[in-house]
Structure 1
């Protein structure tokens, strides 16, 4: 089994956090989003993963030079071969997959790296394909599917009238990566674009018309990492799942000086808490120092200094300094103090 992860978007909705770190490498509860994504997929497919192929953007789009190294390490930790491809020009969802054409063979999962999920179903690898879906309150904002006898009959993009509340979350299984590549190649060779891009939905429809049967994979939780508030909420949900599973996410070397940690929390290595109350639902990255502060439901990255602060629903990037009693400030582009 192979996993293809298109992740070439610049993540503009999550700025300023994505100015130096690609969105899929943003750390949630101690792990990058993309690492959690492939781990969750591995648990659902229950198959040995042979290869994980990542499709990234160019350094000109903000992807640091060490991005490839970090992604290859993620694949290695799952016991899989890692491959990294670059999408030079954004030409749609199908084109992003096409960039990994050298890895498109045999059964594969395609997963766009801006979402996390929790599911307790096991994938039927004998099906022609599967599409992960989640029930939503406002289907008109999503692509949705229609079902008949457990088989997907239609794909509808942002329906104006109600046809289904099962939204496509951006994770797909294909029994034949070779056939998937063939259909994408047909789109590109014939320049069949929609709104100027090569779309995966057109590929799905073509495969369905040729007799391929797609089944749904319904998830229990669908967590978005597109903007700041949903990302903080995803951190909260992930910490809850980890805590319920009995996992301790507080490093052994955390220094507590007149401080309290209210679970669930993730606290990285070499963190110092002095006169602080942290939690619940707080992640603090390695090497950070929190002094005279109360922090609730927040996502704090590595090597951050926070003092004299009362924070809730906050997201603070790497190497940041925040003093709640500031009078002299240095604030860059896209920064928000609310």
Structure 2
């Protein structure tokens, strides 16, 4: 089994946090989004993961090293490919052409999930979907009476289905997928100015390939600040029975309301932290109340009441109660 992870997007909806860090490396409950995604897929594969291929922009050597370590953590070879221009989902996947073979999972790195299925021995090509109230921002599918997918529609302006594609796909023939993606580029088949994976899927279906919908227990989006904070909350609930507080953390005259992740060398003094808070390595929290919040590494919170917020790396906040989204190296004093 192979895992293909397109993650070259600029993450505009997550700014300012993506100005210095690629969105898939923003931490959820102490681990980067993309690491959570790869680990969760590896758990449901039911067989060894041979390779994890990441399609990225030019994020730098440190990011690439981190991605290769994520692949190694699930016992797989790591591969790095580059998408030089944002030309759509089909183009992004095709950038990993040498890795498109055999059984594979394609998973876009801005979504996480919880599920109880196993992919081992699976014969049907599967597209995971979830019902949504507003399907317009998503690709959607329509089903027939046999629970097979009959239509793929990319970001419908009028209602055709509320079954949104969540960005996770299983293909039992990676070579065939590669051929259909290449067909789009060779024949300049574009939709809304991009090469769309849904067009390749439609062509494959027209040629007789059967696709079935997959169901997840929960779909967790990481598209913007509020959804990412909520995803952090849900993940902390999932892993609350594991060790979440580092031995090197110092908690003095403070109350910790679990579930809370506290990283290495964190200092918490005269504060109330939790529930649903993740605090990265080296961060200091003093005389504050912090709830339902992600704080990254080496940041400082003082004399503050913070909820439903994200603070980046080396950030600082001192002052009153606020709903915050503070990027790296920004300091706010009230």
Q: TM-score, normalised by structure 1?
A: 0.92
**CA distance 1:336–1:229, shift in 2 (3 Å):** farther
Distance (Å, rounded) in 1 between the aligned partners of 2:243 and 2:162 = 36
- For structure 1, the 5+ residue unaligned runs are 326-330
Q: Deviations over 1:102-144 (max 9, x none)?
A: 1111111111101111111223644341101112122333222
Q: CA RMSD in A?
A: 2.0
CA 1:189–1:157: 2 relative to 1, 3 Å: closer
Matches within 5 A, 1:48-59: 48-58=48-58
**Runs of 5+ consecutive residues of structure 2 not aligned to the other structure:** 321-325
- Please say if residues 16 and 335 of structure 1, whose CA atoms lie closer than 8 Å, have aligned partners that are also in contact: no
Q: Distance in 2 between matches of 1:48 and 1:158?
A: 35
Which deviations, in whole Å up to 9, do the C-alpha atoms of 1:35-88 show, x marking residues without a partner?
101111112222210000000012xxxx23311111000000110000001111
Corresponding position of 2:129: 133
For the residues of structure 2 that align with 1:200 and 1:215, how far apart are their CA atoms?
A: 16
1:263 maps onto 2:258 in alignment: yes
Judge which range, 296-305 or 161-170, deviates more.
Answer: 161-170
Q: Does the CA-based 8 Å contact 2:277-2:292 persist in structure 1?
A: yes
| In structure 1, distance between residues paired with 2:193 and 2:248 | 53
Distance 1:145 1:123 in 2: 21
Moved over 6 A (4+): 331-338
The secondary structure found in structure 1 opposite 2:303 is strand
Structure 1 residue 16: deviation in Å? 1.0
TM-score (norm 2): 0.93
Give matches, 1:270-285, under 5 Å.
270-285=265-280
Instruction: Number of aligned residue pairs: give it.
Output: 327
